[in-house]
Amino acid sequence: MREQPDFSTTPRPRRPPARELLAVVLGVLVLLLAIGSASATRREAGAARERLAAVRREIGSLKARLRAMDARTTQGGELLSRAAAASEAPPERIVAAIARALPNDARVERLTISYSDAISLKMQLVARDAAAWDRALARLVQAGPFDEVVPGPERREGEIRTTVSARWAEERR
């Protein structure tokens, strides 16, 4: 037979005081609140990183648009200045000034007009002889609305073919 414990001599399990129980419960509540707060902070940090990435993408996109607009503005400004130069000195006016300046025994075979900061001309001239060439060059320099007239290489035997570069200037009065 088995011996039965004697409950009269065995101490009863002691119950913790209410203060200790309250302290444990409060500690657990504080721990749960701290875990919840840390979790919320972590979620907010993730959302802030996502917003930051979105803002950076938008900034990159806006910078690209700004560069494109700046390039178009620069090109547009250049086109406007070229259009203004072309309206001030249309090709017909330039050709007429060249025709007035050249003597009858010289002619233009090819003319290139470049409208940029300054209107530059490149003329392929043909003259019957050296005397006609000299007259044509002198008249281009003196009579026409041309600056910086620079003749190209020439051979002074027989017919002369050469290129002359010049810059269009306003009509001299």
Same domain flag for 94 and 149: yes
Q: Is residue 8 part of a domain?
A: no
Same domain flag for 93 and 163: yes
The rounded average pLDDT for each run of 10 residues, N- to C-terminus, in the chain (173 residues) is 66 77 92 94 94 92 84 61 58 85 89 82 91 88 82 84 85 44
Q: Is residue 3 part of a domain?
A: no
DSSP 2-63: PPPP-TTTSPPPPPPPHHHHHHHHHHHHHHHHHHHHHHHHHHHHHHHHHHHHHHHHHHHHHH
Q: Is residue 141 part of a domain?
A: yes
For residue 32, the model assigns a pLDDT of 95
Same domain flag for 115 and 139: yes
Range(s) of the domain holding residue 65: 17-88
For residue 173, the model assigns a pLDDT of 37
For residue 28, the model assigns a pLDDT of 94
Of 65, 132, 80, 125, whose CA–CA distance to 105 is shortest?
132
The residue among 59, 88, 117 that closes a domain is 88
Q: What one-letter code names the amino acid at 58?
A: E
Q: Considering the entire predicted model, what is its pTM?
A: 0.48
Same domain flag for 42 and 30: yes
Structure token pair of residue 92 = 């017909």
